[in-house]
Amino acid sequence: MVTVDVLHCVDPATQEAVLRRARASLPQASLLLLRIGDASAGAPFRISNWVDRMVLMMKGHGGVKLHCRAVADPIELLDRLGFDTDVVPMSAGTPFANVLLVGRPR
């Protein structure tokens, strides 16, 4: 199993490279767990994004540019890379816009 929670901290080309390497390393009966802040979610996304920026700043990484996407974009990318993907909401009862993408290699 591979878990990724910081993909939004790198540019889209690097995101694809990381996911490509994850796919190449995963056997058939494994999982890729990917937390995504859904950039298409309006105010809940803006709150999530603000929290991420504050955490980065407190850790001394305030200059990191975040590369956030609407949840449909990484799903399409995972499909191209050979994953079947389920979307699991993670933010029920919170003001945030996070979802868990569960990728299964085809």
DSSP 38-67: -TTSSHHHHHHHHHHHHHHHHTT-TTPPP-
- What type of residue sits at position 1? M
Among 8-12, 22-26, 58-62, the minimum mean pLDDT is found in: 58-62
pLDDT in tens, 37-74: 999 999 999 999 999 899 888 989 888 889 999 999 99
Domain count, the chain: 1
The structure's pTM equals: 0.87
CATH number reported for the structural domain that contains residue 18 in this entry: 3.40.50.150
The residue range of the domain holding 35 is 2-105
DSSP 81: T
Provide CB contacts within 8 A for 101, sequence distance 6+.
32, 33, 34, 35, 36, 71, 74, 75, 78, 85, 86, 87, 88
